[in-house]
Amino acid sequence: MNNVKRLAMLGITKEYPGCKANDDVFLNIEHGEIHALLGENGAGKSTLMKMLYGVVKPDAGTIVWNGKEVSISEPAVARGLGIGMVFQHFSLFETLTVTENIALVLGAEAGNPKTLAARIKKTSERYGMPLDPERRISSLSTGERQRVEIVRCLLLDLQLLILDEPTSVLTPQEVDDLFKTLKQLTKEGCSVLFISHKLHEVTELCDSATILRAGKVTGHCNPKDETSESIARMMVGDDIAISNECRRAVGGEVFVDIANLSTPALSQFDIALKSINLQVKKGEIVGIAGIAGNGQDELFKALSGEEIHRHSKAIKFAGDFVDHLSPLARRRLGMAFVPEDRLGRGAVPELDLRDNALLTSFDSDLVKHGFLNKANITALADHIIEKYKVKTAGNHDAAESLSGGNLQKFIVGREVEQEPLFLLMSHPTWGVDIGAQVAIHQAILELRDRGCAILIVSEDLDELYKVCDRLGALCDGELSDFLEPEALPLVKLGQWMAGDFDTASTNVESKQGVLTHD
């Protein structure tokens, strides 16, 4: 049995109209190893995993599981074989308890609720991920919700665990805990398939890696023998500049001035903002770290005008209060916005790229006397596609047809090309590949250098340390101090993200011009 691989995917091919998502792909995973699957957005990783998990069927090729050829027609078959998958977007019902959520997947195997609750408690503690089976999902942190997903897989007699971008929503401490759990799993013979764009994690954790580019396998390596840069080069080729250079800047005059901004929680799952004090200067990038669901959405809605507070005077743009102004009025004062949700808020899925370029750029000589200037609209869409290297068949493509990274480049390009005075960005490179990250970061830095005030919220701490001039954290609607990245150790930022604010240095930092939380 030692010579038999846990999984062998042989010659897997999947073709969609106008696109070969996987082209004769071979993937081998050994017993008890952590195997990385790497590649740019659109390289074919998601399609390959969907075929392994039974969501879609391959057009050609064979899947061999523990030495036997198998046909995985649906996720239930995959789970029956011992294959579990934790998706990037969790599939949990917030109003149900941990036990109830897990019972939905286990079905008849769940058994008596009390017995299942005991199994959940025992299993979660065994693997260093303690859970209270009776807590509702809505009361759990993002890291605890991920534990629920993993424990749900562990109760299936797990032999292969597939993790899609598992650390993108975790604090540094939670990442360490997750890695300990994965290493314990592999010691017991379970295999792990790890999909991530965080290459330093791949080099630290993984035993082997398969690299995809444009649907084909372009390389294999032992990540521990490589660097993040060498792996990135395998993923993107030689035509994209890769740099870890951090270019800091000191801002000029204040453009955004927020004083004692407090907002109520409008629903059960909203977060109240508690006396937020923040300034963003022209020519600087301010970053806010935090786990999703700690007030980031509420803060950005207040700043963008999606939530208008007519009787409040807490937010100023260039010295004028804007609390009562609509999103359009704030845009006309120089604001641009890259939301977290690419499809739905950042772009209209069914509209083509020309119409999506028009959505927020209509003041840029695209509309005159109520009539659309179609030539200018087309020219703008083509300019964004070319300048930001958006991979698409043309400006007539619908937004929903682009990969996540390419749509993100288009949206960022659309906002940056308006030359805003203030740019709001939520998770600017979330789930995008190294090539798209390079392009987006370059655009942000160049815009800052032209004097724009930029505020970024992100769960990607590497990104924040790389591009931001000052950093803080948001937890449960409260904002920490702000420090230069070099003066803020990762451990301290992780503590701030968990709500452990150290305010002892507030007065000193305030005298030095560092933003503080009152």
Which tops the pLDDT comparison, 57 or 19?
57
| Confidence category of residue 54, pLDDT binned at 50, 70, 90 | very high
**Is residue 169 predicted with pLDDT exceeding 70?**
no
**Is residue 280 predicted with pLDDT exceeding 90?**
yes
Mean pLDDT of 310-319: 92
What pLDDT does residue 245 have? 63
| Confidence category of residue 320, pLDDT binned at 50, 70, 90 | very high
Do residues 381 and 395 touch, judged by C-beta distance below 8 A? Answer: yes
Of 150, 151, 98, the closest CA to residue 123 belongs to 151
Do residues 237 and 229 touch, judged by C-beta distance below 8 A? Answer: no
Measured in degrees and rounded to the nearest 5, phi and psi for residue 177 equal: -65, -40
Of 13-17, 39-43, 224-228, the least confident: 39-43
**Is residue 369 predicted with pLDDT exceeding 80?**
yes
**328-341 pLDDT per residue, tens:** 999 999 999 999 88
**Is residue 103 predicted with pLDDT exceeding 70?**
yes
Q: Of how many residues is the chain composed? A: 518
Query: Which residue ranges form the domains of the chain, and what is each CATH number?
Result: 7-236 (3.40.50.300), 254-511 (3.40.50.300)
Mean pLDDT of 386-412: 88
Cα radius of gyration (the chain): 24
Measured in degrees and rounded to the nearest 5, phi and psi for residue 142 equal: -60, -40
What pLDDT does residue 156 have? 82
Measured in degrees and rounded to the nearest 5, phi and psi for residue 243 equal: -145, 140
**Is residue 125 predicted with pLDDT exceeding 80?**
yes
What pLDDT does residue 287 have? 96
| Confidence category of residue 242, pLDDT binned at 50, 70, 90 | low
**Is residue 168 predicted with pLDDT exceeding 60?**
yes
Nearest 5°: CA angle at 317, between 316 and 322? Answer: 60
| Confidence category of residue 5, pLDDT binned at 50, 70, 90 | very high
Say what percent of the chain tops pLDDT 90: 53
Of 21-25, 88-92, 234-238, 402-406, the least confident: 234-238
What pLDDT does residue 257 have? 97
- Half-sphere exposure of 341 toward its Cβ, with a 13 Å CA cutoff? 8
CA distance 137 to 117: 14
Which tops the pLDDT comparison, 303 or 166?
303
Which tops the pLDDT comparison, 456 or 509?
456
What pLDDT does residue 269 have? 65
**Is residue 435 predicted with pLDDT exceeding 80?**
no
Of the ranges 87-91, 129-133, 480-484, which is most confident? 480-484
Of 3-7, 171-175, 217-221, the least confident: 171-175
**Is residue 132 predicted with pLDDT exceeding 60?**
yes
**Is residue 231 predicted with pLDDT exceeding 80?**
yes
**Is residue 513 predicted with pLDDT exceeding 90?**
no
- Structure-token pair, residue 147: 């534990």
| Confidence category of residue 144, pLDDT binned at 50, 70, 90 | confident
What pLDDT does residue 403 have? 76
Mean pLDDT of 155-174: 82
Measured in degrees and rounded to the nearest 5, phi and psi for residue 30 equal: -85, 165
Total-model pTM: 0.69
DSSP string, 42-91: TSSHHHHHHHHTTSS--SEEEEEETTEEE---SHHHHHHHTEEEE-SS--
Of the ranges 166-175, 305-314, 509-518, which is most confident? 305-314
3-state secondary structure (DSSP) of residue 417 = coil
**Is residue 241 predicted with pLDDT exceeding 90?**
no
**251-271 pLDDT per residue, tens:** 899 999 999 999 998 776 678
Spell out the residues 6+ positions from residue 399 whose beta carbon is closer than 8 angstroms to its own: 343, 347, 348, 349, 350, 351, 352, 353, 356, 407, 410
Of the ranges 169-178, 275-284, 489-498, which is most confident? 275-284
What pLDDT does residue 311 have? 82
- The overall average pLDDT reported for the chain is 87
Which tops the pLDDT comparison, 198 or 319?
319
Element (DSSP H or E) covering residue 6: none
